[in-house]
Amino acid sequence: MISYIFPPPAQTAVPIENSDALFPVRRILCVGRNYAAHRAEMGGDDREPPFFFSKPADAIRNQGDNPAYPTVTKNLHHEIELVVALKSGGANIPVSEALDHVLGYAVGVDLTRRDLQNSAKDKGHPWDAGKAFDGSAPISAIRPWTGSPPQGRIAIAVNSQVKQASTIDNMIWSVAEVIAEASKLWTLAPGDLIYTGTPEGVGPLVKGDKVEGEIDGVGTLTFTVA
């Protein structure tokens, strides 16, 4: 019998639509600058390939679990994203086989301490403090999916005012390409979530803001900044 020096951490999990089963989260990968207009607003161009960063599993906040305004920031930003949930994985996955590993999709928000991120960029430091904090990855229930990925509208509203609006087909790298590229850097596995990037219009949030995200065909995500 295995014993631990203290109880192991609880397994982070995300609900699956129309199922009593939960999706156990292994890790969270995020794609940076995967929409040309957002890349431009952040000071980039449309020729550089998107890059990856990660968040810990305990960054997840499910529907109904409102994320708290984080410490040590005065500039918290919203970034609406399509999230890919993997049911299987591997290394060096071909683009032609990448969608075979997808269980489904969800609506996610990559919360960002923008002031900390910008300070880290200026100093050439890692972004962890700006991106990988508690509650920084709100997510809707996962909608099981087969076939071609969603391509429709992606949008977020703050206090009923639309702040970001685009379509998934504006992504520079497709879902299949994102999975294939990620699998060159990591051995992907069941339980991995990939936040696939955000369109233009990112902006600040304050305590009490009501956030409503939606992706056509995938679902909605609503939370209030606590």
- Does residue 7 fall inside a structural domain? no
- Does residue 61 fall inside a structural domain? yes
Q: Which two tokens stand for residue 211?
A: 């956030």
Nearest CA to 204 among 158, 135, 139? 158
pLDDT of residue 166: 96
> For 191-204, how does the pLDDT look when each residue is reduced to its tens digit (9 = 90+)?
999 999 999 999 99
- Does residue 3 fall inside a structural domain? no
- Does residue 8 fall inside a structural domain? no
Question: Confidence band (pLDDT; 50, 70, 90) for 116?
Answer: very high
Distance of alpha carbon 138 from alpha carbon 215, whole angstroms: 14
Nearest CA to 22 among 57, 66, 67, 68? 57
Q: Amino acid letter at 178?
A: V
Nearest CA to 111 among 205, 222, 220, 219? 205
Distance of alpha carbon 213 from alpha carbon 169, whole angstroms: 17
The answer on pLDDT for 123 being more than 70 is: yes
- Does residue 2 fall inside a structural domain? no
Distance of alpha carbon 56 from alpha carbon 25, whole angstroms: 10
Distance of alpha carbon 143 from alpha carbon 190, whole angstroms: 16
Side-chain-side CA neighbours of 60 within 13 Å: the count stands at 29
Number of structural domains the chain divides into: 1
The answer on pLDDT for 9 being more than 70 is: yes
CATH number assigned to the domain comprising residue 161? 3.90.850.10
Tell me the β-bridge partners of 198: none
- Does residue 54 fall inside a structural domain? yes
Q: Which residue is associated with the tokens 């890919």?
A: 84
pLDDT of residue 1: 84
Beta pairing class for 13-15 and 22-24 = antiparallel
Q: Which two tokens stand for residue 127?
A: 């972004």
- Does residue 29 fall inside a structural domain? yes
CB-CB contact of 104 with 190 (8 Å): no
Distance of alpha carbon 54 from alpha carbon 127, whole angstroms: 10
> For 50-65, how does the pLDDT look when each residue is reduced to its tens digit (9 = 90+)?
789 999 999 999 999 9
Q: Residue 120's domain spans which residues?
A: 13-224
> For 124-176, how does the pLDDT look when each residue is reduced to its tens digit (9 = 90+)?
999 999 999 999 999 999 999 999 999 999 999 999 999 999 999 999 999 99
- Does residue 1 fall inside a structural domain? no
